[in-house]
Copies of this chain bind each other. A is one copy, B any other.
Amino acid sequence: MQDNLTLRKWYLIEKRMLKDIIENNENYQPGLSIDCVIFGFHDNQLKVLLIKIPNREMWSLPGGFIPVDQDIDVAAVTVLNERTGVEGIFLRQFATFGKVKRNDQHFDKKILEYLKIEEEKGKWLMRRFVTIGYYALVDFLKTIPKPANKDEVIEWIDHKEVPELILDHKEILDKALDTLRMELNLMPVGYNLLPEKFTIPELQKLYETILDKKLDRRNFLRKITNIGILTKLDEKKSNVAHKAPNLYTFDKEKYDEVLKNGLNQGW
């Protein structure tokens, strides 16, 4: 357990970069970090992009620090790109986490020794950190994570089988999923999570997976088509068991319009 504490915020960043940041810490916002929750969808599973801490059984969200001359929204994109190679996606800020307890106060000198950083400079990392959470929905197939170095392991992990995460990352992930579930009622979802051509049952599985509940096939079809964001193709999915389902695409123009105006305005 002490070993886990030892690592503290090391997870945040690749070793070489971490050393660099600590030694030039005047260029970064102190005590403030960013963590990203990246959702993908594959094999009827909602996946989350996680980074494994070298040689440990602990995983973490991809995160990093904020250059003093970068907007936080920009920094979030930068951070994600540096950690995972993922680029060009829209990150949405959903919450900021700032419990005192989320920081354990036992950052070990061993790490600083290992990184050959003098204690004075290492203090930068030892202080209390507040973290800003961002999430995104990405195309699983187009998003191939690239580890920053050979020691790092980045993987898509089924959100139902997420292993133990460091610090409060589980809480951050859960909050991101809660936010996503809320958004589902306010805007269409799927454009980034499904391939170009998809079937209604696939789209329904996505909704069911996110909401973690079963929906009625027929009612779902009616509701989703009534939104007017789908284009039915004259093409069926091939190589499937049973009846071949029809293929659809999103009508991007209408999709964006609904994204902008929202689904149901309530009052």
Contact = CB atoms under 8 A, between A and B. Distances in A.
Contacts of A228: none
Contacts of A202: none
A186 interface: yes
Interface string A53-95: 0000000000000101111110100000000000000000101
B185 A266 contact: yes
A263 B266 CA distance: 10
Given A31-B30, A32-B32, A71 B95 contact: no
A98 B69 contact: no
Interface stretch (A125-133, A193-201, A252-260): A125-133
B93 A95 contact: yes
Given A184-B267, A215-B267, A69 B100 contact: yes
A157 interface: no
A19 to B, nearest CB: 22
- Interface bin, chain A: 35 or more
Contacts of A141: none
Contacts of A75: 98
A98 B66 contact: yes
A29 interface: yes
A95 B73 CA distance: 12
B32 A68 contact: no
Given A30-B30, A31-B29, A211-B267, A96 B186 contact: no
Q: Report the 4 A-B pairs with minimum CB-CB distance, sorted nearest first.
A: A72-B98, A185-B266, A96-B96, A71-B99
12 contacts: A30-B30, A31-B31, A66-B130, A71-B100, A72-B130, A73-B98, A184-B266, A184-B267, A207-B267, A211-B267, A215-B267, A223-B267
Given A66-B98, A73-B98, A182-B186, 17 more contacts: A29-B31, A29-B128, A30-B31, A31-B32, A32-B32, A68-B128, A72-B130, A75-B98, A93-B96, A96-B96, A184-B266, A184-B267, A185-B264, A185-B265, A207-B267, A223-B267, A263-B266
Interface of A: 29-32, 66, 68-73, 75, 93, 95-96, 98-101, 127-128, 130, 132, 182, 184-186, 207, 211, 215, 223, 263-267
